[in-house]
């Protein structure tokens, strides 16, 4: 039999092994599903084989269903069919799991009789981030295995369960040193004979009343996300509904949610995040520089946070401030933050000791001499910043990357203060050591390609989502937020109350933020006209974002409309299930958005002048990204 390239097969005594080899992440696309199904059937027909093992790549058992197929429709055998085949087979199946075991990949393992994990195994149901629920048995089988509250927590938080916890929860039978050890164990088990242990035959342990508190917690953080409501429903169902019926409900719900605007928006964000890491005009062979040591200049709260972020990422870092009193304040603040993290359970003792050991403090700028990357988190004053860059240029070793943190100063003017403008780049950390993941990476006119490649590769190490932007005051995020804030104030001046604006946007999932709320509270309302409706308030705020976003695209400050979405989802609390402002505008229809903007332009004046890119996209019936390309071609 010829073996398709998505798998490998091997016979080890009485064990038939199917290796999943669909790089990079073993997504369960049509070809892999077919290959697994055929190989499994062939092993079942082989009288020498007593049990079958599914083994993934060392770092990816499987990332789950192939998300690209969700938009195009899936061809049989569907994952649910492959799973049903494994469950109905005359021979037991084992899953040998190393690395990522997500979504449909996780569900594939729940069809197996025994799960053996390597220490790097990571189980998760990320479907909720795609606006959906597990659709191949997860909502019905996981509760039967680990109980309703634990299953709901795993499904609605999309958190990762590592091997040790998985063993404690009963998700896997054993954790072995590596996949080879797991194969040896599976081979011995097959020789000895394996008893069938279908999860579907079990009842959910505990009582359904245990679900009340878990459901309340889940729904409390749902912020209007449909999938969370459905997940609660599904897990409850597992207690008192036969498996077949529960799975039929789950399949229908998965299909219904998959077609929803919320799910489409979240799939858009998933691919947009990955696209944002790519820089289209970097030569393919651009090699990033090695980063093994960092320095941060300026020890106020931003600088201290950036230094902590490097230390957390495993990079030795020195935090420098020539003001000794500032350094002492930073030392105390950092110690306090770390203690809080440890006391709150966010970090364990040994990790904290290791992080502390990586972070030094110094009052000497010369301490930056050996760093591969130096971040200046100094001031918003150009003269002072140029002086610091000029000093760093003299002190730092050749090849060191000099970074400005901030969104207001002109990076090209800063770079001119050095003899190495190619090594100068911007990193705008919104909240360096906090939950905000956005990192705007600012490319100057002379920033070298390998410097861009280095910083784009450094961001994920710092647990940040990078988006490459060009030089302008405010960069992408703050410039758009300014336009939004100005509109909020105008609305209040026209007679809307701050509470009304707040409610209109909260209903959409957007929090206008305390600063804006305070600014609005001071505005004088002079209603000139009919009271503003919630819908109009919302459209005016959102379309200001979109129109400004179009201008940033035209100016080349933002590379793609989807990059702007990533900026707003990761940096400014825009709800993921809305997909970001630009996706929302495209989902509503660009012609409708433009019609509103033209109307406001007539009514409210020049700040509403439609962006030419938006006009062209509507005129030519294109998406915003396609309109940018069509302009480039023209
Ligand atoms: C599901 O399973 C539904 C079931 O319940 C029911 C079905 C009936 N599909 O992120 P990376 C691509 S829903 C297609 O850069 P990393 C990704 O786009 C699914 N493509 O790597 C990228 O492509 P490119 C539930 C996928 O190491 C490349 O692989 N599963 C998928 O930083 C590398 O990805 C999820 O939601 C996929 N499932 O992180 C898992 N996954 O190079 C989603 C990845 O062209 N995936 N790609 O840009 C992840 O969380 C991360 O990708 C993972 C790897 C942690 C796996």
Q: What is the DSSP string of 170-189?
A: TSSSEE-SSHHHHHHHHHHH
Please measure the distance between the N-terminal and C-terminal CA atoms of the chain and give it in whole angstroms: 52
Contacts of 631 (CB under 8 A, 6+ apart): 613, 616
Residue 396: cis peptide before it, omega within 30 degrees of 0: no
Residue 21 CA to ligand 1 centre (angstroms): 15
Residue ending a domain, choose from 469, 500, 533? 469
Mean pLDDT of all residues in 510-536: 74
Residue of minimum CA distance from atom 25 in ligand 1: 103
- The string of pLDDT tens digits covering residues 285-339 is 899 999 999 999 999 999 999 999 999 999 999 999 999 999 999 999 999 999 8
Q: Does the structure show a pLDDT above 50 at 532?
A: yes
Which pLDDT score, from 0 to 100, does residue 326 have? 97
566 and 456 housed in the same domain: no
28 and 177 housed in the same domain: yes
Domain CATH code at residue 64: 3.90.226.10
Which pLDDT score, from 0 to 100, does residue 75 have? 93
* Beta-strand runs (E) in 80-155: 93-97, 100-102, 114-117, 122-124
Q: Is residue 278 part of a domain?
A: no
CB 7 within 8 A of CB 39: yes
Integer Cα distance of 456 and 452 in angstroms: 6
Res. 525 pLDDT band, cuts 50 70 90: low
Residues in the chain: 634
Q: Does the structure show a pLDDT above 50 at 543?
A: yes
235 and 338 housed in the same domain: no
- The string of pLDDT tens digits covering residues 361-372 is 999 999 999 999
Res. 522 pLDDT band, cuts 50 70 90: low
- The string of pLDDT tens digits covering residues 257-290 is 999 999 999 999 999 999 999 999 999 889 999 9
Least trusted range by pLDDT, from 38-47, 282-291, 429-438, 482-491: 429-438
| Bigger pLDDT: 531 vs 368 | 368
197 and 80 housed in the same domain: yes
Burial (CB count <10 Å: 0-12, 13-18, 19+), residue 153: middle
Q: Is residue 282 part of a domain?
A: no
Domain CATH code at residue 495: 1.10.1040.50
Residue 124 CA to ligand 1 centre (angstroms): 12
Least trusted range by pLDDT, from 84-93, 205-214, 327-336, 527-536: 527-536
Q: Is residue 189 part of a domain?
A: yes
Query: Residue 102: beta bridge partners?
Result: 124
Which pLDDT score, from 0 to 100, does residue 71 have? 83
453 and 492 housed in the same domain: no
Q: Is residue 526 part of a domain?
A: yes
CA torsion sign, 414 to 418 to 424 to 429? Answer: negative
Q: Is residue 281 part of a domain?
A: no
375 and 464 housed in the same domain: yes
Residue ending a domain, choose from 263, 279, 306? 263
Integer Cα distance of 243 and 139 in angstroms: 10
Q: Is residue 49 part of a domain?
A: yes
pTM of the model: 0.92
Residue 583 CA to ligand 1 centre (angstroms): 20
CB 114 within 8 A of CB 167: no
Describe the chain by its helix, strand, coil percentages, rounded to 5: 55, 10, 35
- Tokens standing for residue 325: 């009193």
Residue 177: cis peptide before it, omega within 30 degrees of 0: no
Of 270-284, 426-440, 512-526, the range with the highest mean pLDDT is 270-284
Pairing mode, strands 161-162 and 174-175:
unpaired
Res. 511 pLDDT band, cuts 50 70 90: confident
227 and 309 housed in the same domain: no
309 and 249 housed in the same domain: no
Residue ending a domain, choose from 401, 434, 469? 469
Is 107 part of the annotated catalytic residue set?
Answer: yes
360 and 413 housed in the same domain: yes
Residue of minimum CA distance from atom 21 in ligand 1: 25
- Tokens standing for residue 462: 């710092």
Is 127 part of the annotated catalytic residue set?
Answer: yes
Q: Which residues line ligand 1 (CB under 6 A)?
A: 24-25, 27, 63-68, 79, 100, 102-104, 107, 126-127, 130, 134-136, 138, 274
Q: Which of these is catalytic: 10, 69, 81, 127?
A: 127
Q: Is residue 516 part of a domain?
A: yes
Which pLDDT score, from 0 to 100, does residue 632 have? 57
Split into its structural domains, the chain has a count of 3
Res. 380 pLDDT band, cuts 50 70 90: confident
Q: Does the structure show a pLDDT above 80 at 222?
A: no
**Owner of token pair 């909020």:** 488
CA of 278, closest atom in ligand 1: 48
Residue 72 CA to ligand 1 centre (angstroms): 16
370 and 426 housed in the same domain: yes
Of 218-222, 310-314, 501-505, the range with the highest mean pLDDT is 310-314
- Tokens standing for residue 69: 């197929």
| Bigger pLDDT: 283 vs 137 | 137
Residue 77: cis peptide before it, omega within 30 degrees of 0: yes
Burial (CB count <10 Å: 0-12, 13-18, 19+), residue 517: middle
Integer Cα distance of 16 and 465 in angstroms: 41
Q: Is residue 274 part of a domain?
A: no
Domain CATH code at residue 347: 3.40.50.720
Inter-axis angle of helices 581-588 and 534-554, nearest 10:
110
Q: In what order do the strands lie in the sheet with 100-102?
A: 60-62, 100-102, 122-124, 161-162
Residue of minimum CA distance from atom 17 in ligand 1: 274
- Identify the domain containing residue 562 by its residue range: 477-633
Integer Cα distance of 555 and 520 in angstroms: 30
- The string of pLDDT tens digits covering residues 146-187 is 999 999 999 999 999 999 999 999 999 999 999 999 999 999
437 and 457 housed in the same domain: yes
Q: Which of these is catalytic: 107, 273, 450, 487?
A: 107
Res. 633 pLDDT band, cuts 50 70 90: very low
CB 253 within 8 A of CB 128: no
Mean pLDDT of all residues in 64-93: 94
Q: 3-class SS at 277?
A: coil
604 and 507 housed in the same domain: yes
Contacts of 45 (CB under 8 A, 6+ apart): none
């Amino acid at each position: 039999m010829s073996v398709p390239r998505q798998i490998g097969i091997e016979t080890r005594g009485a064990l038939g092994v199917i290796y999943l080899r669909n790089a990079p992440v073993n997504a369960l696309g049509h070809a892999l599903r077919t290959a697994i199904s055929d190989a499994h059937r062939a092993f079942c027909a082989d009288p020498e084989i007593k049990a079958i093992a599914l083994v993934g790549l060392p770092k990816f058992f499987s990332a789950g269903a192939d998300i690209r197929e969700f938009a195009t429709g899936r061809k049989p055998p569907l994952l649910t069919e492959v799973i049903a085949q494994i469950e109905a087979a005359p021979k037991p199946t084992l899953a040998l799991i190393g690395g990522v075991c997500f979504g449909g990949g996780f569900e594939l393992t729940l069809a197996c009789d025994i799960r053996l994990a390597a220490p790097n195994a990571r189980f998760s149901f990320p479907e909720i981030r795609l606006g959906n629920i597990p659709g191949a048995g997860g909502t019905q089988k996981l509760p039967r295995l680990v109980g309703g509250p634990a299953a709901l927590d795993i499904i609605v938080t999309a958190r990762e369960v590592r091997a040790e916890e998985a063993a404690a929860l009963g998700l896997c039978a054993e954790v072995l040193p590596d996949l080879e050890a797991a194969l040896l164990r599976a081979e011995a088990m097959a020789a000895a004979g394996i008893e069938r242990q279908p999860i579907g035959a079990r009842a959910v342990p505990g009582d359904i009343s245990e679900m009340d508190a878990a459901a309340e917690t889940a729904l409390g953080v749902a912020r209007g996300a449909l999938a969370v409501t459905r997940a609660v429903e599904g897990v409850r169902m597992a207690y008192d509904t036969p498996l077949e019926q529960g799975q039929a409900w789950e399949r229908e719900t998965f299909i219904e949610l998959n077609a929803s605007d919320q799910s489409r928006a979240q799939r858009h964000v998933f691919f947009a995040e990955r696209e944002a890491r790519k820089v289209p005009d970097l030569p393919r062979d651009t090699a990033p520089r090695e980063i093994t040591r960092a320095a941060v200049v300026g020890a106020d709260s931003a600088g201290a946070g950036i230094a902590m972020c490097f230390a957390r990422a495993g990079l030795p870092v020195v935090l420098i401030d020539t003001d000794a009193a500032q350094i002492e304040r930073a030392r105390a603040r950092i110690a306090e933050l770390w203690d809080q993290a440890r006391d709150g359970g966010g970090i364990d003792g040994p990790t904290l000791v290791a992080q502390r050991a990586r972070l030094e403090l110094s009052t000497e700028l010369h301490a930056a001499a050996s760093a591969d990357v130096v971040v200046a988190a100094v001031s918003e004053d150009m003269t002072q910043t140029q002086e610091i860059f000029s000093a760093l240029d003299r002190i730092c070793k050749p090849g060191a990357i000099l970074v400005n943190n901030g969104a207001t100063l002109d990076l090209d003017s800063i770079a001119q203060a050095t003899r190495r403008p190619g090594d100068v780049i911007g990193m705008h950390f919104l909240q360096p050591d906090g939950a905000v993941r956005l990192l705007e990476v600012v490319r100057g006119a002379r920033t070298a390609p390998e410097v861009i490649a280095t910083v784009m590769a450094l961001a994920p190490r710092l647990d940040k989502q990078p988006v490459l932007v060009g030089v302008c005051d405010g960069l992408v995020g703050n410039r758009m937020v300014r336009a939004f804030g100005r509109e909020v104030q105008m609305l209040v001046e026209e007679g809307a109350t701050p509470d009304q604006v707040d409610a209109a946007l909260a209903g959409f999932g957007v929090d206008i933020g305390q600063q804006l709320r305070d600014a609005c509270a001071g505005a004088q309302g002079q209603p000139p006209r009919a009271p503003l409706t919630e819908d109009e308030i919302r459209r005016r705020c959102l379309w200001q974002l979109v129109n400004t976003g179009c201008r940033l695209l035209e100016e080349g400050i933002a590379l793609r409309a989807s990059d702007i979405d990533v900026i707003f989802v990761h940096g400014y609390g825009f709800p993921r299930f809305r997909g970001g402002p630009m996706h929302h505008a495209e989902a509503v229809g660009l012609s409708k958005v433009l019609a509103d903007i033209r109307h406001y332009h007539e009514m409210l004046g020049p700040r509403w002048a439609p962006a030419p890119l938006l006009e062209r996209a509507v005129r030519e019936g294109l998406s915003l990204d396609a309109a940018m390309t069509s302009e480039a071609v023209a």
